[in-house]
Amino acid sequence: MNKHFDEAYRILAANDRGGYTVPTDRLYPFQWNWDSAFVAMGFATFDIDRAYRELERLTEGQWEDGMIPHIVFHQPSDTYFPGPDVWRTSHTIPTSGITQPPVFGIALRAVHEAAETAGSEDAKARTLTLFHAALKWHRWWYSARDPEGTGLVALLHPWESGSDNSPAWDIALSRVPTSTETAVVRKDTGHVDAAMRPRDEDYRRFIHLVDTYAACGWNPVQQWEKAPFKVAEVQTTAILLKAGEDLLHLAGVLGLDEAAEELAVYNLLTRNALQAQWRPQLSRFVSRDLISNEDIDAPTHAGFIPLLALDLDKDIVDAAAAEMRLWSNGMKVAFPTTKPFVGSFEAKRYWRGPSWAIINWLLIDGLARNGLTDMAAGLRSNTVSAIETEGFAEYFDPITGEGCGGLGFSWTGAAYLCLAE
């Protein structure tokens, strides 16, 4: 075991706040939804109990209607904006009012399998409880975020994508007013160089959306009607489908026939819908702006995430692989979250270009699933060596390889534990 594994363990221990892990100290001082799912998979490599605990603590924030919020504010902190006073949700443990990509089901299968391998006695009981929470959340996705039954789920806020300031949102977000009822008092730029973060104007639109949905009392039907930002998104939908497949597998293991049938219906609907988002002229999948009813063709990494959840025909796999190679060509650290060097590409600004270990993790699984074993191995060793060279940064400048954003980052630690040999 090399010193980098020790550092990954140290980071997860340092960011532990009592059964849940903050993404990094100060910049993100609460429990974040998809961060915790990745972190649980990291824990599953050496501490099964703690892996389950991470998921269990996240479900403490689950709403009655099934949504698992993107932030659970277990304890107060004044180092982050927007806090619970801005969200104004009514959950007993304060939470945000929006969600995040449903990696949870993928993590649950990984944790369950690690627990079975380790011979954990309470694995089945703990998995069962979390399975029901996950299924309830998947039902919420299909009812609240795909009320017309298209098979693609929609995001009502860029933060729900986890890729907050991606160029994919530029057009859709430009329609959202910059006026806010809530005063925008950013804290993030006190922790990290402002040049690596979303712009003030983005934040004003982000908070305008929060104010709009708070005024709907966080009612999903009203939010759907009032939403000035509504995007049927391929990354989230692909993650939902992969999680749906993993939950279907667990339903089999747990002998839950009705749940299995329900999940099989969701998965089939979504598989067909996602497949239909392939655009041969772009060699990638595209999201759809549900307000303009147009494709979002901004070139971002999300266009390749469907490989994670689909078994694609060879001509599609070959075209996607060729496009991915083009984007990676000359990059010190792949995979850039925006195509280099289009106008919107910014090598250090958060989701507008930088490479992220957890995105690479999803892409590696997608490449491997579709038979691109050498590309998967190449991206894996590139990711591992970026972390070994630069440390456990939030993300990496793809051109220089420099570690950027927050440091001592939990999900980068988890990615290292799962990707390094």
**Cβ–Cβ < 8 Å for 339, 280:** no
Of residues 27 and 44, the one with the C-beta less far from ligand DGY: 27
Q: What are phi and psi of 125, to 5 degrees?
A: -65, -45
Strand-pair partners of 396: 355, 403
Nearest-approach distance from CB 210 to ligand DGY, in angstroms: 10
Of residues 271 and 352, the one with the C-beta less far from ligand DGY: 352
Torsion on CA atoms 394, 398, 401, 403, rounded to nearest 10: -20
Between the alpha carbon of residue 297 and those of residues 8, 18, 60, 167, 168, the distances in Å are 37, 42, 37, 10, 7
Nearest-approach distance from CB 142 to ligand DGY, in angstroms: 23
Of residues 70 and 145, the one with the C-beta less far from ligand DGY: 70
397 among known catalytic residues: no
Between the alpha carbon of residue 253 and those of residues 211, 249, 301, 412, the distances in Å are 43, 6, 33, 30
70 binds ligand DGY per the rule CB under 6 A: yes
121 among known catalytic residues: no
Q: Which residue of this chain has its Cβ atom nearest to ligand DGY in the complex? A: 159
Residues 141-160 that bind ligand DGY (CB under 6 A): 159
What are 2's two structure tokens? 């090399």
Of residues 104 and 159, the one with the C-beta less far from ligand DGY: 159
Q: Which of 25, 160, 164, 390 is catalytic?
A: 164
Nearest-approach distance from CB 174 to ligand DGY, in angstroms: 19
Q: Which of 54, 390, 394, 397 is catalytic?
A: 394
Q: Residues 54, 164, 245, 397: which binds ligand DGY (CB under 6 A)?
A: 164
Between the alpha carbon of residue 393 and those of residues 11, 32, 355, 405, the distances in Å are 11, 17, 11, 7
Give the count of residues interacting with ligand DGY (CB under 6 A).
Answer: 4
Going by C-alpha positions, the residue among 308, 303, 284 that lies closest to residue 365 is: 308
Of residues 33 and 237, the one with the C-beta less far from ligand DGY: 33
Nearest-approach distance from CB 326 to ligand DGY, in angstroms: 29
Q: Distance between CA atoms of 42 and 415, rounded to whole angstroms?
A: 7
Name residue 259's amino acid: A
- Look at the block and give the residue holding tokens 């049927």: 232
What is the DSSP secondary-structure string of 8-36? HHHHHHHTBSSSSB-SBTTTB-SEEHHHH
Of residues 188 and 289, the one with the C-beta less far from ligand DGY: 188
| Other residues' Cβ atoms within 10 Å of the Cβ of residue 140 | 20
Residues 170-229 that bind ligand DGY (CB under 6 A): 188
25 binds ligand DGY per the rule CB under 6 A: no
Nearest-approach distance from CB 411 to ligand DGY, in angstroms: 12
Nearest-approach distance from CB 159 to ligand DGY, in angstroms: 4
38 binds ligand DGY per the rule CB under 6 A: no
Residue numbers annotated as active site: 164, 394
Binding footprint of ligand DGY on the chain (CB under 6 A): 70, 159, 164, 188
